[in-house]
Amino acid sequence: MSYLQFLSEHGPTLLLGTVTTIKVFICSLALYIIISMIFGLMRLSKNLLVQGLSTVYIEFFRGTSLLVQLFWAYYVLPFFGLSLEAFAAGVLTLGMNFGAYGAEVVRAGILAVPKGQWEAAHALNFSPAKRIRRIIIPQIFPIILPPASNLTVELLKATSLVALVTVVDLTFEARQINSITWLSAQCFGTALLIYYIMARFALVPFLRWLELVAAKKVGVGDT
């Protein structure tokens, strides 16, 4: 069977899987951003309880393997009466896992904002909430975006793991086709190519553009 024949027969199935992969990616991306922000800020709280809570969260999710967490969420949580659908378990685990890594990025970003900015906001008698929201947060984007976009590419790659808890994504479809046709080179090769195209020609250029915009808005990347 030629490769073109293979594509015309199984291409649509792989594309359907790709759509699911993109869905998983976007949902977990949203969760990842929210969790990074919340736990990154909590990590810098002066309240020891809040700070401790986020430290435990971050160390826990970074210390155990993503696949283990995924299987735990899908196969063990039902023991406690919480049955998640595969898609929900996948998105939740991915978002929470990457959120832990992202929280550290956010924390480092906030610490990297020059001290004078804090002092100036203080001198102008801004409330603590306003200080963070209007002065500090807008300035962290040029700092956190490069490491955060690396994590985002990692997230796209990590979505492939949800196939192992029966989410019918690109990886799942590739495995399925492989087990029917045994055309391993074609189906896994095509899947690799699709992931590559998504990352290299869509996601990465978009993130680079975002980095440029953030740098311009804050006025750091003077080019």
Q: Name the residues that contact other proteins, by CB under 8 A.
A: 59-60, 62-69, 71-72, 75-76, 79-81, 111, 153, 157-161, 163-164, 171, 174-175, 178, 184-185, 188-189, 191-192, 195-196, 199-200, 204
118 backbone dihedrals φ, ψ, rounded to 5°: -65, -45
The nearer residue to other proteins, 2 or 125, going by C-beta atoms, is 2
User: What's the Cα-to-Cα distance from 33 to each of 28, 29, 103, 178, 203, rounded to whole Å?
Assistant: 9, 6, 9, 35, 16
The nearer residue to other proteins, 76 or 120, going by C-beta atoms, is 76
CA atoms within 13 A on the CB side of 217: 13
CB of 220 to other proteins, least distance (A): 20
Identify the H or E element spanning 72: none
The nearer residue to other proteins, 63 or 219, going by C-beta atoms, is 63
How far apart, in whole angstroms, are the C-alpha atoms of residue 200 and residue 13? Answer: 22
Output the CA torsion 7→12→18→20 (10° steps).
Answer: -160
The nearer residue to other proteins, 126 or 194, going by C-beta atoms, is 194
